[in-house]
Amino acid sequence: MDVNDRKRKGRCIVMINESTVLSKNPEMPSRKYLKSIIIEPGITLNEMASDIYNHIDGKVSIHDICSKIVNEYDVDYQTCLEDCMELFELLIEHEAIKVKQGA
């Protein structure tokens, strides 16, 4: 896996791709609320984003997560990948998830 860091607006942005493996940040507790997930402090995920988040386990790649979501929802792979990447970048920026090193 090729992970490149770059600076943008004073923040370190991690570049991710389909082979990237992600893990949840254990220092940011989450809880289920109805069909949503709330990640402390104050990140609320809708039902689909919650399903995507639930697939993050530190073992599977973004490609694998997207393949599972395509089978669960009526969405094509490319649209799913774009939406997942946007969600993952947001969650990485808020430190709710992180790139698993050496995966």
Question: 36 pairs with which residues across the strands?
Answer: 33
The CA-CA-CA angle for residues 100, 17, 23, to 5°, reads 25
Mean pLDDT of the chain: 86
Which domains does the chain show, CATH number per domain?
A: 5-99 (1.10.10)
Pair 38, 52: CB distance under 8 Å: no
Instruction: Classify residue 40 as exposed, middle or buried by CB count within 10 Å of its CB (0-12, 13-18, 19+).
Output: exposed
- What does the alpha-carbon distance between residue 49 and residue 34 come to, in Å, rounded to a whole number? 13
pTM strictly above 0.85: no
Q: Which two tokens stand for residue 4?
A: 């490149």
- What pLDDT digit, counting tens, does each position of 15-54 carry? 899 999 999 999 999 989 888 999 988 899 999 999 999 9
Question: 44 pairs with which residues across the strands?
Answer: 38
What per-residue confidence (pLDDT) applies to 41? 83
